[in-house]
């Protein structure tokens, strides 16, 4: 169970992401979560041996960059939403019932999602960066307009990845029991409670 509180992000505790499908030296990530009205606020903090920011357009291959992601699903529905953010500020957002045949949100809509990146360090030995994003759960189709989040049951998982790094890595808040890296695994999503 992931509990998200209605308070400023600074007053929430970071949740460490755990490495999956291997151990990755020099890689750490955490996420803080809070909600307000129908916005889900996320602040990721990432430390990696390198910083990759190659994707320059929305709905590009952001998972190949230094990337953080949120996958969310309304309890009882098959469709889930994935929002993936590169350290380049490019974002991918889609919805569907599985990895295949996802419908991407248009770039004009993605541009309206408030998100920022701050590069804290970038050297030959390590990079440190943060990404903040405020996800409009109603506009993403996860809640009804005006619905009180305390009455909503979502499931999801939160990730950090870098498929094209010299050493690819994959981290998540909740365990995933697949043999190969696969974030599109709704059966492993954790319940989310808004308090």
Each residue of 20-58: pLDDT tens digit?
A: 999 999 999 999 999 999 999 999 999 999 999 999 999
Residues with Cβ within 8 Å of residue 128, at least 6 apart in sequence:
45, 46, 47, 119, 120, 121, 122
91-130: burial string, b at 16+ Cβ within 10 Å, e else: bbbebbeeeeebeebeeeebeebebebeeeeeeeeebbbb
Of all residues in the chain, the percent with pLDDT exceeding 70 is 100
Q: Which domains does the chain have, with CATH numbers?
A: 13-189 (2.60.40.1190)
Residue with tokens 């970071």: 14
Each residue of 84-95: pLDDT tens digit?
A: 999 999 999 999
């Amino acid at each position: 169970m992931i509990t998200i509180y209605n308070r400023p992000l600074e007053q929430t505790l970071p949740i460490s992401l755990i490495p999956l499908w291997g151990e990755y030296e020099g890689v750490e990530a955490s996420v803080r979560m809070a909600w307000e009205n129908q916005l889900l606020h996320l602040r990721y903090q990432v430390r990696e041996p390198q910083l990759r920011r190659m994707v320059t357009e929305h709905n590009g291959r952001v998972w190949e960059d230094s990337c953080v992601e949120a996958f969310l699903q309304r309890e009882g529905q098959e469709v889930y939403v994935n929002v993936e953010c590169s350290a380049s500020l490019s974002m991918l957002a889609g919805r569907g019932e599985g990895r295949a045949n996802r419908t991407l949100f248009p770039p004009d809509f993605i541009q309206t999602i408030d998100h920022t990146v701050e590069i804290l360090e970038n050297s030959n030995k390590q990079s440190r960066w943060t990404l903040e994003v405020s996800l409009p759960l109603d506009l993403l189709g996860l809640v009804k307009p005006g619905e009180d989040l305390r009455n909503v049951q979502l499931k999801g998982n939160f990730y950090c990845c870098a498929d094209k790094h010299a050493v690819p890595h994959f981290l998540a808040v909740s365990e995933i029991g697949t043999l190969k890296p696969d974030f599109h695994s709704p059966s492993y999503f954790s319940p989310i409670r808004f308090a």
